[in-house]
């Protein structure tokens, strides 16, 4: 995958806007509507299982627990009724508001969506924009004319339309229309895909484009990798113009994109009365008994007064609720919110004296949020730095976080403070490292004091204990690991689906196992495997869990002999295969896969042994292809060649031993760097 930054995307969108012909398409999947109150597929399935009426349909007709099968179990009229309740209670979220703003500002002229909801259309009405709306479930193959822009294109139907496509059969119906639409709109446009899993035939139509000439940008959810299918069909093709941007929720992405593009807040937020006036200006007078009557006259007069008073800070002097002091405070709140939304954090210093004189809770909360985000942005910036520059950013982050807590204490702020201390500890040596880790634990305790159900604070507390255990030996190490396990248990009690807590619990058990021997070691490794299994049940894409599962199997294999050893090694190899299916660029998995093949070779003789050694060498080569400076793979490659040489004689043996020596020398070179 070609990874790029949000800044890169913003630069591309600016360039397209400046061109006479050029724009951007937003492709919105279900994840974009989640924070607006529209559940994801997995949540819809859970809701159906709980529903007194619909659960009977599911129990009777569903042998397979998939979204498509659940939808197939419901008659189409019931599906429509089921979805309607979510549509009716949904509200415009940050994603749709800023997406509409991108259209209003000329950065985007087309929205393509697999969703049924009307959130995009509702958002555009706030900007007085009425787009062309196309429902491809009706068009099927009959797309002959060109699209008119701005446009909203529904691929799977609308909530009130004749069709809402959910089942496997239904989703195949409009594929020809979708293919034609994608081809027509792609010219001179970049694609931004967000909130979309790729679990439907639309992915195949996107993947059929040989080259996205203006680029396709797939926005990853937080740190989750796209599915293997998405990578294989779309993102791992080096010549199709696809790009990957990781690390965002949908709302966070749109807010930060707005900031990168240098856009103001939408008019409905920045100047709500002026925007309202522009909307009602489209209402024509009515004719009653041959006379024109302006029904909006009084409303318009009131809005103009509000513009004068609230937006221009003139008039209203005789009304207590709109006094000069009140207007000034409202203006202060507006400016502080503008600083927060534009991320121009340093500007807050110009208003701090006025803020300190106010007791307005909304103002104080936003004031705290500015320092909160300021601190967090400094922490994130530190991830790209090293040495003294990194340390400086982390210390500045802590300073801003302290300030946010002084303004308005919050559990998440204390947890963030703890996280930053942990990052600082990572670049320090003893005794500073240990001191900072204990400080980070104190901050997690503070967070839990404010919010006893804060599962992530418990998790991070456990993480710090684990990091401390690495600095210790013997009983002290063991005690820290056991304590971390108890803390992870607390996190899981609060959130039974906390995959990272199960993963780290497994890690702590593995570390404990390395302090033991015999049956006790084996039992701890088996326990750690159970935790890795649980992790992958919650999150099937958690490749590190499969990797550590494989590692534990390999450790158990080294305690066995004969057929039992072989069985564990083969199981171990299966786990490493799974890892590279999910993340084909994980060099450690290829290295350990090669190591497992090498150990397996020791159980064999002749041609079978040679075959396994050659396979192991291929894995080391792959590992080094991913990371040319991976010392361990050069060492293992050297051992593989050395073992292979033992099966040969004469010049071939000599050649293999010389090659082996080259690999060992390369490993030493890398050690000396």
For 199-224, the pLDDT digits (tens) are 888 888 888 898 999 999 999 998 78
Place of tokens 């699209």: 147
Residues 56 and 155 in one domain: no
140 assigned to some structural domain: yes
17 and 166 share one domain: yes
Domain match, 61 and 138 both: no
User: Cβ(579)–Cβ(541) under 8 Å?
Assistant: no
pLDDT, mean of residues 25-36:
93
Q: Domain ends where: 260, 287, 313?
A: 260
- 82 and 193 in one domain? no
pLDDT at 58 over 70: yes
Residue 115 is part of which domain span? Answer: 6-38+92-260
- Say yes or no: 84 and 102 in one domain: no
Q: Do residues 109 and 76 both lie within one domain?
A: no
- The residue with tokens 């890795």 is 532
Tokens in use for 241? 């113009």
Which of 140-144, 290-294, 320-324, 408-412 bottoms out in mean pLDDT, i.e. has the lowest?
Answer: 320-324
> What strands, in cross-sheet order, belong to the sheet with 242-248?
132-135, 151-154, 108-113, 23-28, 189-194, 216-221, 242-248
10 and 137 co-located in one domain:
yes
Given this model, what pLDDT does residue 496 score? Answer: 93
Flag the least confident range among 61-65, 93-97, 412-416, 498-502: 61-65
Q: What is the model's pLDDT at position 342?
A: 82
Burial of 202 from C-beta contacts in 10 A (0-12 / 13-18 / 19+): buried
Report the sign of the C-alpha dihedral through residues 257, 260, 262, 264, in that order.
Answer: positive
Q: Residue 216: inside a domain, yes or no?
A: yes
Q: Based on the domain organization, do 142 and 204 belong to the same domain? A: yes
pLDDT of 673 reads 60
Q: 161 pairs with which residues across the strands?
A: none
pLDDT for 144 equals 63
Angstrom distance (rounded) from CA 23 to CA 48: 40
In a domain? residue 528: no
Q: Does the pLDDT value for residue 162 go beyond 70?
A: no
How many domains is the chain partitioned into structurally? 3
Domain end position, chosen among 219, 245, 260? 260
- Strongest mean pLDDT among 88-92, 230-234, 397-401: 397-401
DSSP 375-437: HHHHHHHHTT--HHHHHHHHHHHHHHHHHHHHHS--HHHHHHHHHHHHHHHHT--TTHHHHHH
Please check whether residues 140 and 15 belong to one and the same domain. yes
Mean predicted confidence (pLDDT) in 231-245:
89
Determine the average pLDDT of the residues in 542-551. 96
Q: Is 425 within a domain? A: no
Percent of the chain whose pLDDT exceeds 70? 92
From residue 379, alpha-carbon distances to 175, 236, 448 in Å are 45, 30, 22
pLDDT band at 615 (very low <50, low <70, confident <90, very high): very high
Q: Report if residue 505 sits inside a domain.
A: no
Task: Determine the average pLDDT of the residues in 92-101.
Answer: 95
Is the pLDDT at 406 greater than 80? The verdict is yes
The full DSSP string for 156-203 is SB-TTSS-B--SHHHHHTTHHHHHHHHHHHHTTEEEEEES----STHH
Asked whether residue 106 falls in the same domain as residue 19, the answer is yes
Res. 357: pLDDT tops 60: yes
Confidence class of residue 48 from pLDDT cuts 50, 70 and 90?
confident
Q: What is the mean pLDDT of residues 161-165?
A: 61
Query: Can you give the pLDDT at residue 170?
Result: 64
In a domain, 309, yes or no: no
* DSSP annotation of 287: E
How large is the average pLDDT for residues 178-188?
Answer: 89
Tokens describing residue 615: 């396979």
Q: Are 78 and 157 found together in one domain?
A: no
- Residue 89 CA: distances (Å) to CA of 26, 116, 191: 24, 14, 30
pLDDT, tens digit, for every residue of 277-327? Answer: 888 887 777 776 666 767 778 788 888 888 887 777 676 555 555 555 666
Q: What is the pLDDT of residues 10-22, one digit of tens each?
A: 999 999 999 878 8
**What's the confidence (pLDDT) of residue 597?**
97
- Tell me which of 95-109, 153-167, 585-599 is least confident: 153-167
With respect to residue 347, please indicate whether it lies within any of the assigned structural domains.
Answer: no
Q: What is the CATH number of the domain that holds 589?
A: 1.25.40.10
Q: Which residues of 183-193 are buried (b: 16+ CB within 10 A; e: fewer)?
A: eebbeebbbbb
Instruction: Report pLDDT for 411.
Output: 96
- Is residue 113 located within the same domain as residue 212? yes
Tell me the HSE value of 240 on the side-chain side, using a 13 A CA sphere: 21
Q: Considering 260, 293, 313, which residue would you say is the last residue of a domain?
A: 260
More confident residue, 165 or 79: 79
The answer to the question of residue 441 being in a domain is no
Is residue 238 over pLDDT 70? yes
- The CATH number that applies at residue 170 is 3.40.50.1220
Count of residues in the chain: 673
């Amino acid at each position: 995958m070609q990874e790029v930054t949000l800044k890169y995307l913003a630069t591309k969108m600016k360039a397209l806007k400046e061109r006479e012909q050029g724009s951007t398409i937003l492709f919105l999947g279900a994840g974009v509507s989640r924070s607006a109150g529209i559940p994801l597929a997995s949540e819809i399935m859970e809701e159906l299982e709980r529903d007194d009426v619909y659960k009977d349909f599911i129990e009777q007709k569903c042998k397979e627990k998939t979204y498509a099968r659940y939808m197939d179990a419901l008659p189409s009229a019931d599906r429509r009724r089921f979805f309607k309740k979510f549509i009716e209670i949904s509200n415009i979220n940050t994603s749709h508001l800023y997406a509409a703003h991108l259209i209003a500002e000329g950065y985007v002229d087309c929205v393509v969506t697999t969703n049924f909801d009307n959130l995009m259309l509702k958002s555009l009405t706030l900007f007085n924009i009425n787009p062309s709306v196309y429902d491809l479930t009706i068009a099927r193959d009959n797309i002959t004319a060109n699209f008119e822009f701005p446009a909203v294109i529904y691929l799977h139907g609308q909530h009130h339309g004749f069709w809402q496509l959910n089942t496997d059969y239904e989703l195949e119906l409009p594929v020809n229309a979708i293919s034609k639409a994608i081809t027509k709109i792609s010219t001179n446009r970049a694609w931004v895909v967000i909130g979309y899993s790729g679990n439907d035939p639309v992915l195949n139509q996107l993947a059929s484009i040989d080259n996205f000439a203006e680029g396709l940008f797939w926005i990853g959810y937080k740190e989750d990798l796209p599915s293997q299918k998405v990578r294989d069909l779309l993102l791992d093709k080096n010549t199709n113009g696809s790009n990957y941007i990781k690390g965002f929720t949908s709302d966070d992405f749109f807010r930060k994109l707005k900031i990168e593009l240098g856009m103001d807040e939408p008019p409905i937020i920045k100047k709500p009365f002026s925007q309202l006036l522009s909307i009602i200006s489209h209402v024509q007078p009515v004719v009653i008994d041959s006379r024109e009557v302006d029904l909006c006259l009084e409303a318009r007069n009131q809005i103009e007064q509000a513009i004068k008073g609230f937006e221009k800070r003139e008039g209203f002097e005789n009304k207590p609720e709109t006094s000069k002091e009140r207007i000034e405070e409202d203006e202060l709140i507006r400016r502080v919110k503008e600083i927060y939304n534009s991320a121009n954090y340093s500007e807050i210093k110009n208003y701090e004296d006025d803020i300190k004189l106010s007791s307005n809770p909304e103002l104080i909360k936003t004031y705290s949020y500015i320092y909160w985000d300021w601190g967090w942005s400094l922490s994130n910036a530190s991830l790209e730095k090293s040495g003294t520059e990194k340390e400086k950013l982390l210390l500045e982050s802590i300073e801003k976080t302290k300030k946010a807590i002084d303004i308005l204490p919050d559990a998440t702020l204390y947890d963030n403070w703890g996280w930053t201390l942990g990052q600082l500890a990572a670049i320090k040596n003893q005794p500073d490292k240990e001191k900072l880790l204990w400080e980070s634990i104190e901050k997690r305790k503070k967070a839990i004091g404010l919010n006893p159900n804060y599962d992530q604070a418990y998790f991070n507390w456990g993480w710090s204990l684990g990091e401390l255990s690495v600095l210790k030996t013997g009983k002290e190490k063991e005690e820290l690991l056991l304590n971390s396990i108890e803390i992870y248990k607390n996190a899981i009690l609060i959130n039974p689906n906390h995959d990272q807590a199960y993963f780290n619990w497994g890690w702590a058990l593995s570390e404990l196992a390395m302090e033991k021997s015999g049956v006790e070691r084996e039992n701890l490794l088996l326990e750690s495997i159970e935790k890795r299994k649980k992790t992958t049940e919650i999150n099937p894409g958690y490749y590190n869990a499969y990797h550590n599962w494989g590692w534990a199997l390999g450790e158990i294999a080294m305690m066995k002999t004969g057929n039992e050893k072989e069985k564990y090694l083969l199981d171990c190899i299966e786990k490493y295969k799974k890892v590279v299916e999910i993340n084909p660029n994980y060099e450690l998995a290829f290295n350990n896969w090669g190591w497992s093949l090498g150990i397996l070779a020791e159980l064999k003789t002749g041609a079978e042994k040679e075959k396994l050694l050659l396979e192991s060498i291929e894995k080391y080569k792959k590992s080094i292809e991913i990371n040319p400076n991976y010392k361990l793979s050069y060492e293992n490659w050297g051992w593989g060649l050395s073992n292979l040489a033992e099966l040969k004689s004469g010049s071939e043996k000599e050649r293999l031993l010389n090659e082996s020596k080259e690999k060992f020398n390369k490993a030493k070179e890398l050690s000396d760097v």
